[in-house]
């Protein structure tokens, strides 16, 4: 899964990197510890115009009775998108990229209570483009009817797939990382070839997932700052050999 990531770049830099024509004037504060329900940037196609937009992390399906449903939908499994009531509509029409400088994953360490966090990033420190979906949800009354005059909530989820060989050392899942060659097809809302799109949702090459052990400070969502990315000594590998 992907439960935390890093997003420290301003929207104009994100727009330049992803060749987007528009980006929001209201800036999201840089975060080295993005957590579920935070606002995040996404890249999407809006009427043939590529733009950077804001979304709440944790997709809220249009049929949800309340906003809390999105709290458990921060990730969508690539293998089950087409059959999921929560994600199949967005998979067909509302696909996006979720830019990230890197992400965190935790490894169980034999004999230790606390898991060891790792920061996962590219060796060249270029951004990741996670495959994502977005949706629009309108606040509802007790009877499930849309409330007049209430602002809709636009939210997003990150698609995950099986771990590549490098990530499998610490976890069995990872975000789908799309290469630039796949961006146009993924973002095109008129592209309804879901079978071909599904073939893009595969593990990224191990070469783009460098694992760096970092402090357990990142395990607390309240902690922020670039120091969270500082490398710390990792657990001895013989611990895992003995387990």
Under a CB-based contact definition with an 8 Å cutoff, are residues 178 and 130 in contact? yes
The answer to whether 2 is a known catalytic residue is yes
Estimate to the nearest angstrom the gap between the alpha carbon of 203 and the chain centroid.
14
Q: What span, in angstroms and rounded, lies between the C-alpha atoms of 65 and 143?
A: 9
Q: Please, where are the H alpha helices in the chain? A: 11-17, 88-93, 180-187, 194-198, 237-242
Structure tokens at 85: 């009531």
Marked catalytic residue, from 96, 105, 135, 166: 105
**Residue 59 contacts by C-beta under 8 Å, 6 or more apart in sequence?**
70, 73, 74, 76, 86, 87, 90, 133, 134, 135, 155, 156, 157
Q: What span, in angstroms and rounded, lies between the C-alpha atoms of 178 and 186?
A: 9
Marked catalytic residue, from 2, 96, 135, 166: 2
3-state secondary structure of 49: strand
Q: What span, in angstroms and rounded, lies between the C-alpha atoms of 16 and 19?
A: 5
**Residue 3 contacts by C-beta under 8 Å, 6 or more apart in sequence?**
35, 36, 74, 75, 104
H or E segment to which residue 181 belongs: helix 180-187
DSSP 184-204: HHHH-TT---HHHHHTT-SPP
Structure tokens at 222: 């309240």
Estimate to the nearest angstrom the gap between the alpha carbon of 91 and the chain centroid.
15
Mind telling me the catalytic residues?
2, 105
């Amino acid at each position: 899964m992907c439960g935390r990531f890093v997003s420290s770049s301003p929207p104009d830099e994100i727009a330049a990197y992803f060749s987007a024509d528009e980006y929001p004037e209201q800036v999201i504060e840089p975060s080295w510890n993005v957590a579920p329900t935070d606002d995040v940037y996404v890249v999407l196609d809006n009427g043939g115009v590529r733009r950077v937009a804001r979304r709440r992390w944790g997709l809220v399906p249009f049929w949800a009775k309340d906003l809390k449903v999105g709290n458990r939908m921060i990730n969508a499994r690539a293998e089950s998108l087409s059959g999921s009531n929560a994600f199949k509509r967005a998979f067909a029409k509302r696909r996006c990229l979720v830019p990230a400088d890197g992400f965190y994953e935790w490894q169980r360490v034999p004999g230790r209570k606390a898991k060891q966090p790792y920061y996962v990033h590219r060796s060249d420190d270029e951004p990741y483009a996670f495959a994502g979906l977005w949706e629009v949800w309108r606040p509802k009354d007790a009877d499930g009817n849309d409330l007049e005059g209430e602002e809709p909530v636009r939210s997003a989820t990150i698609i995950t797939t099986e771990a590549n060989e490098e990530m499998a050392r610490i976890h069995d899942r990872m975000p789908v990382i799309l290469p630039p060659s796949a961006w146009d097809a993924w973002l095109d809302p008129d592209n309804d070839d879901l079978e071909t799109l599904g073939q893009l949702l595969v593990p990224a090459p191990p070469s783009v997932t460098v694992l760096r052990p970092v402090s357990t400070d990142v395990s607390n969502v309240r902690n922020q700052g670039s120091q969270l990315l500082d490398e710390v000594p990792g657990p001895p590998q013989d611990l895992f050999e003995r387990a």
